[in-house]
């Protein structure tokens, strides 16, 4: 197996084990076992369990952040754009259930520099939503109110899907994303 493939396999195994047992309860031995490596060989790829956690967080939100940014500055009314943003965000959560779980649960285990990066990404996400909410409110498309609270309410509703969504349940990812996009707009409609 090539080094790149092995690194991918290590990250996937770590994510799975962190999700199931929690970061602190997981051991490097288990991760090594899961990818068929000796523990000593695992350290060739990654210096520590903490580094592994940091790597799992790296770039996690880049893709969905880019999609939300594109929807925010796209064509269409603020309502249409907000709907597209909520949809992209919910799909981003639903397609990465394990990593969202670990991400939200293990923030406190991150070293300070990685945590700062996480907070920067979260702020960038809120800013996109706030900007479109402010624009829509000034045009009279959205109800008057605190745009920060509106963005937090909306992101809370959408992020929370990671707690209850079951991949092989009665609802497809698209059905949930469509439903929540509609709710997001309705929550702000006068």
* Residues making contact with a second copy (CB under 8 A): 20-25, 105-106, 108-109, 143, 145-146, 149-150, 152-161, 163-164, 171, 176, 179-180, 183, 186-189
Q: Which residues fall within 8 angstroms of residue 135, CB to CB, at 6 or more apart?
A: 78
Backbone angles phi, psi at 46, to 5 degrees: -150, 130
Tokens of 119: 């907070």
State the minimum distance, in angstroms, from the CB of residue 178 to a second copy: 11
**Token pair of 49, please?**
């369990």
Tokens coding 34: 């899961």
**Looking at beta carbons only, is 115 or 157 nearer to a second copy?**
157
Helix axes 112-138, 147-159, angle to 10 degrees: 120
Whose Cβ is closer to a second copy: residue 1's or residue 25's? 25
Shortest gap between Cβ of 183 and a second copy (angstroms)? 5
- In this structure, what token pair is assigned to residue 17? 């084990």
Q: Which residue number, 44 or 160, has a Cβ lying nearer to a second copy?
A: 160
Q: Which residue has the tokens 């520590």?
A: 48
Q: Considering the complex, state which of residue 1 and residue 149 has its C-beta at the smaller distance from a second copy.
A: 149
What is the closest distance, in whole angstroms, from the C-beta atom of residue 146 to a second copy in the complex? 7
What's the token pair of residue 166? 């079951």
In the complex, the smallest distance separating the C-beta of residue 37 from a second copy, rounded to whole angstroms, is: 24
């Amino acid at each position: 197996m090539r080094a790149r493939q092995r690194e991918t396999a290590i990250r996937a195994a770590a994510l799975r084990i962190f999700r199931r047992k929690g970061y602190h309860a997981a051991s490097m031995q288990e991760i090594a076992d899961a990818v068929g490596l000796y523990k000593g060989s695992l350290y060739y790829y990654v210096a520590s369990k903490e580094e592994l956690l940091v790597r799992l967080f790296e770039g996690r939100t880049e893709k969905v952040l880019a999609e939300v940014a594109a929807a925010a500055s796209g064509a269409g009314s603020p309502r249409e754009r907000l709907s597209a943003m909520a949809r992209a965000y919910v799909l981003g959560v639903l397609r990465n259930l394990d990593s969202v779980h670990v991400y939200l649960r293990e923030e406190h285990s991150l070293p300070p520099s990685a945590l700062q990066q996480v907070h920067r990404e979260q702020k960038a996400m809120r800013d996109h939503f706030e900007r479109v909410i402010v624009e829509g409110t000034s045009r009279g498309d959205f109800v008057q109110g605190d745009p920060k609270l509106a963005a937090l309410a909306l992101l809370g509703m959408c992020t929370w899907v990671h707690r209850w969504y079951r991949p092989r349940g009665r609802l497809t990812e698209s059905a949930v994303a469509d439903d929540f996009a509609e709710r997001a707009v309705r929550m702000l409609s006068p």
